[in-house]
Structure 1
Amino acid sequence: MGAAGLVEIKRRIKSINNTKKITKALGLVSTSKLRKVREKLSSNNDYFKQCEDVFAEVINSYEEENIYTKSNKSSKKLYIVLTSDMGLCGSFNSSMISHVAEITRNDRENALILMVGEKGRSFARRYKLETMAEYIEVGDLPTTKEASTVYNDAFEMFRKGEVSEVNIVYAKFISQLKKQIEVEQLLPIDKSKFSNIESKAEFENGSDILFDNVVNLYFTSKILNSMIHAKCSEQSYRMEAMEGATKNSDDLLEKLNLKYNRIRQSAITQEISEIVGGAEAQN
């Protein structure tokens, strides 16, 4: 391999260096975003815990059957799936959709999807999952308004009897090293999940509005908390992916530089040999 080979290697080294700059920058951006969303998750966890305690006390005190606790005859099940709008986050989206595909494998025709995040759509098509609605351009710090929109649409389908269950699927952020996919049933409400909390509240006639407000507040805060968990996991996956890509770039650059130097050294040695050989021929 002569001069042409050296030019090609130099071109590859330049291309990899440019890619490395991008992956390193994206890694730093993800690190910064992860820090911000983790701060929001910490404060939101406290808020959600208070909402959950109030909800548990209310649901245990309200003995009458209602639309939130009573299932319907529909065979359809709804899954709110939280994915990302941006790529370059490793296996974050693919693992989410493959998990949904697995839990719905035996009843695929009755599984409906509310997809949050643009990247989940392409993966859903591969697994032939039917999406009823898609929510894109969710900010790095999800808001109550976005969570409320998702909940209202899901609850409307449940209220009309179009689905018998509403579930949420998201990546729960436990630590930088541990994220796990959670599938939680939202509707109908399973009162046994809150039986460990003692209730002292008493309801009188005409308290349905109060009950509705508490239930809606709880589910909106639950979806918001899940969205923030998902954003933490997304940024964590992206940070790890970019760090891995940067490290791979360093490894590849090291090999290419070594190869470049060997070829260059070989070319110089050959030139010296030719010069010496020519000088000896003249003598």
Structure 2
Amino acid sequence: MNKFNEVIKTLALSQDAESSIYFNKNKVDTDLYIIITSDSGLCGSYNANVIKRAVEEMEGKKVKLLTVGEKARSYFVRRGYDTIAEYVEVGDYPVYWDAVDIMKHAIDAYKNGEVRNVKLIYTKFYSPVKQEVEVLRLLPLEKPMEKVNREFEFEPRASKVLDYIFPKYLNNMLYFAILSSIASEYAMRMSAMDSATKNAQELLNKLQTMYNRLRQSNITQEITEIVSGAEALKE
């Protein structure tokens, strides 16, 4: 992926690169957001974090949505957001062509001049204990500020190569985001289940202690009554 990024940066820095369609500044006021959540709950604050960040990002803007996951679909559809496509049950083992199918909607909307920006909101997996919601701008393409380490020569023109290769780059970006989101979902689900197990065990321990105290109190009372009865018989 790093090499792919390097090639894209080199292409974007080429003299004729800006003639590529992916540099177009569409004159519309609508942004498209691709939002990735899970299909089910019981994964802590995973879905809530993504949805909260998305709502903050979209506040005051005219937007279209492309949702991946039942939680995003149900939340935004119920609130009347304009969705151009909704994907659910992508599964635990998505394939590259799932990303291609999803991204096609976004690329077509941009090429047709329906949206000015395409942004991706997903949860990036760093480790089993660290996951963060990220917002990436996918389109339009902009010239990078930093230079690349080496030069490439392109045939045909850089803009033609860019038109061909950049959609594949976007497909890979989305595929990575889906995989990262699934890894983050299960890391947070494991953490949530671990916390629930610990909380349940603490509750069981408290209930066991209460039961033991009540049982001890009843036994003590019964012994007292028996001793009292025995003493009464002696009299």
Which TM-score applies when normalising by structure 1?
0.75
| Aligned equivalents of 1:50, 1:66: Cα separation in 2 | 21
Residue 106 of structure 1 aligns to a residue whose secondary structure is: coil
1:198 Cα offset (Å): 4.5
Given that residues 60 and 194 in structure 1 are in contact (C-alpha distance below 8 angstroms), is that contact kept between their aligned partners in structure 2? Answer: no
Q: Counterpart in 1 of 2:32?
A: 78
1:56 Cα offset (Å): 2.3
Give the paired residue count. 233
| Aligned equivalents of 1:193, 1:112: Cα separation in 2 | 29
Q: Counterpart in 1 of 2:171?
A: 220
Percent of aligned pairs with the same amino acid: 39
CA 1:127–1:207 in 2, change beyond 3 Å: closer, same or farther? Answer: closer
1:232 Cα offset (Å): 1.4
1:66 Cα offset (Å): 2.6
| Aligned equivalents of 1:198, 1:50: Cα separation in 2 | 11
| Aligned equivalents of 1:148, 1:226: Cα separation in 2 | 13
| Aligned equivalents of 1:54, 1:281: Cα separation in 2 | 99
1:52 Cα offset (Å): 1.9
CA 1:266–1:274 in 2, change beyond 3 Å: closer, same or farther? Answer: same
Q: Counterpart in 1 of 2:196?
A: 245
Q: Counterpart in 1 of 2:136?
A: 184
Q: Which runs of 5+ in 2 are unaligned?
A: none
- Partner deviation per Cα, 1:211-254 (whole Å, 9 max, x = no partner): 33311111111111111111111111111111111111111111
Residue 137 of structure 1 aligns to a residue whose secondary structure is: coil
Q: Counterpart in 1 of 2:107?
A: 155
Q: Counterpart in 1 of 2:11?
A: 58
CA 1:194–1:222 in 2, change beyond 3 Å: closer, same or farther? Answer: farther
Q: Counterpart in 2 of 1:13?
A: none
| Aligned equivalents of 1:220, 1:201: Cα separation in 2 | 24
Given that residues 67 and 86 in structure 2 are in contact (C-alpha distance below 8 angstroms), is that contact kept between their aligned partners in structure 1? Answer: yes
Q: Counterpart in 2 of 1:265?
A: 216
1:170 Cα offset (Å): 1.0
Residue 192 of structure 1 aligns to a residue whose secondary structure is: coil
Tell me which stretches of 4 or more aligned residues in structure 1 moved more than 6 Å: none
Q: Counterpart in 2 of 1:49?
A: 2
- Partner deviation per Cα, 1:104-162 (whole Å, 9 max, x = no partner): 2222xx12221111122333357664433211111223321111011101111111111
CA 1:206–1:214 in 2, change beyond 3 Å: closer, same or farther? Answer: closer
Question: Which one-letter code corresponds to 2:169 in the other structure?
Answer: Y
Residue 19 of structure 2 aligns to a residue whose secondary structure is: coil
| Aligned equivalents of 2:154, 2:184: Cα separation in 1 | 40
Q: Which runs of 5+ in 1 are unaligned?
A: 1-47
Q: Counterpart in 2 of 1:121?
A: 73
CA 1:205–1:184 in 2, change beyond 3 Å: closer, same or farther? Answer: closer
RMSD, matched Cα: 2.2
Given that residues 12 and 144 in structure 2 are in contact (C-alpha distance below 8 angstroms), is that contact kept between their aligned partners in structure 1? Answer: no
Question: Which one-letter code corresponds to 2:50 in the other structure?
Answer: M
CA 1:170–1:193 in 2, change beyond 3 Å: closer, same or farther? Answer: farther
1:205 Cα offset (Å): 6.3
| Aligned equivalents of 1:248, 1:126: Cα separation in 2 | 33
Which TM-score applies when normalising by structure 2?
0.90
